[in-house]
Amino acid sequence: MPFVHNLLLAEQNLHLMAKKRILILGAGLAGLSAAWHLQSQGIDCQIFEKESDVGGLCRSKNINGFTFDYDGHVLHFKHRYTLNLIRSLLKDNLASHQRKSWIYSHRRYTRYPFQANLYGLPSQIVKECLLSFLKASQKQAPEIKKRESFLAWINHTFGEGISRHFMVPYNRKFWTIPPEELTCEWLDGFIPVPSLNDLVDGTIQESKKQFGYNAHFWYPKRGGISSLARALAEPLDNIRTNCNIAEINLKKKEMRLASGEKERFDYLVSTIPLPRMSGIIGDLPQDIKHLFGFLRWNSIFNLNLGVKNKINPARHWVYFPEKELSFFRVGFAHNFSSNNVPRGQGSLYVEVSYPFGGSIDKNKLIRRIKEDLKEIGIIDREEHICCQDVNDIKYGYPIYDKNYRESRAKITEYLLMNDIIPCGRYGSWRYLSMEEAILDGKSAAQRIAEIKCA
């Protein structure tokens, strides 16, 4: 009987919840997933998206027969649930690939990850990296403390050689701040740690061993990464695009769109970048408002290029640690799917980091990127470029520094107290992948479904 009773209560809750006005801010993967999971439990909601299309960062553009994503986006799965969900959404429009990623340093290519593949580097550098790795591995490995400095972790994990020749310059370039200012709270298995045996193998020969949870990736066969967002949005009939949320009034439980229109809410699921919320919520107490000032992030400038020939057929993407080159990564989208390009042509995406709040001279940067691509032989001549597309991604990666945890925790607590559920990579301000953004949308839906209705 208690089971039947619980079922009846749950049904009653869902019924009451169905009457609540639940609004979702943003139609990226997290917002779409929240709506998808709410709808599948019979709970109504309405999505408001400021752009004219759904997908957020998971969008693609079609230009002259090239499919360009908003910067390189490939799928990795840690959870069977998400793999099954995405398979059911994309059906046959999904292909799996074995990652072929490389590093370019000292004017040559080595396999990713650097810390397991020294083969081919100048012998002096190989010696320095190997000996210091050996020294580091002989010391008793300290337990990783999440709030420890990332630089300290790099040094005691890999030794000074790998630190100097890859880890520090790459991370400095990528995060735009020195690694000693970062904590280890974001690591979560992102950086593979090889054994000494693996490193020796990858030093005496070109090792084919794959490292990390993302040794395989998945990508749509047709339509670029936006196929995923479109498939998630397809069954949802409650998405309003071109709706920019300009203000939220917590006391009145009302939000105002840039058009002036007002909407009442009981619960909000917000995937709007957290730092933006300090300008959107009108009645923030001062002690909460000042916490937003501690949030930091990097921005990503992405240049997509369509080229006349299929370049670099054996590589998916390459990391560039050296500061002399403008970009930290270049990928080859025709190697994800031949449908991303007109027959026989190629497509590359170039990624450059810059500090948040910083400004860039886009034309100057584009010229420099093209010079650098020619310098290292990725493109032969500028005439080979047949089209280009630029994306300036203001919110790239939330930065985990010493202020991150406390500021984020207190802001989150305040929002939750006011019936706003922060969600997704930028809404909840975490280093989340597409898979994790989808799961975060699911958790937000679950949270709403579980709220006890008085």
Ligand X SMILES: Cc1cc2nc3c(=O)[nH]c(=O)nc-3n(C[C@H](O)[C@H](O)[C@H](O)COP(=O)(O)OP(=O)(O)OC[C@H]3O[C@@H](n4cnc5c(N)ncnc54)[C@H](O)[C@@H]3O)c2cc1C
- Contacts with ligand X, residue ranges (CB under 6 A): 25-31, 48-51, 56-58, 71-76, 244-245, 271-272, 300, 393, 396, 424-426, 432-435, 437
Residue among 26 and 306 whose Cβ is closer to ligand X: 26
State the Cα–Cα distance between residues 249 and 254, nearest whole angstrom: 5
Q: Could you tell me which of 400, 398, 394, 440 has the C-alpha nearest to residue 421?
A: 440
Neighbours of 450 (CB within 10 A): 10
Q: How far is the CB of 400 from ligand X (least distance, A)?
A: 15
The answer to whether 334 and 305 have CB atoms below 8 angstroms apart is no
Q: Could you tell me which of 304, 355, 297, 353 has the C-alpha nearest to residue 326?
A: 353
Q: How far is the CB of 10 from ligand X (least distance, A)?
A: 28
Residue among 26 and 321 whose Cβ is closer to ligand X: 26
Q: How far is the CB of 161 from ligand X (least distance, A)?
A: 29
Q: How far is the CB of 262 from ligand X (least distance, A)?
A: 14
Q: CA quadruple 283, 259, 245, 359: dihedral positive or negative?
A: negative
Residue among 52 and 123 whose Cβ is closer to ligand X: 52
Q: What is the CA radius of gyration of the chain?
A: 23
Edge-to-edge strand list for the sheet holding 239-240: 239-240, 46-48, 22-25, 267-270, 420-422
Residue among 129 and 245 whose Cβ is closer to ligand X: 245
Provide the token pair at 179: 């690694």
CB half-sphere exposure, 90, CA atoms < 13 A: 24
Residue among 31 and 346 whose Cβ is closer to ligand X: 31
Q: How far is the CB of 175 from ligand X (least distance, A)?
A: 13
Residue among 48 and 332 whose Cβ is closer to ligand X: 48
DSSP state of 65: T
* 442 Cβ contact list (under 8 Å, min separation 6): 33, 34, 37
Residue among 74 and 118 whose Cβ is closer to ligand X: 74
DSSP state of 145: P
Q: How far is the CB of 118 from ligand X (least distance, A)?
A: 26
Q: How far is the CB of 57 from ligand X (least distance, A)?
A: 4
**Side chain identity at residue 135, one-letter code:** K
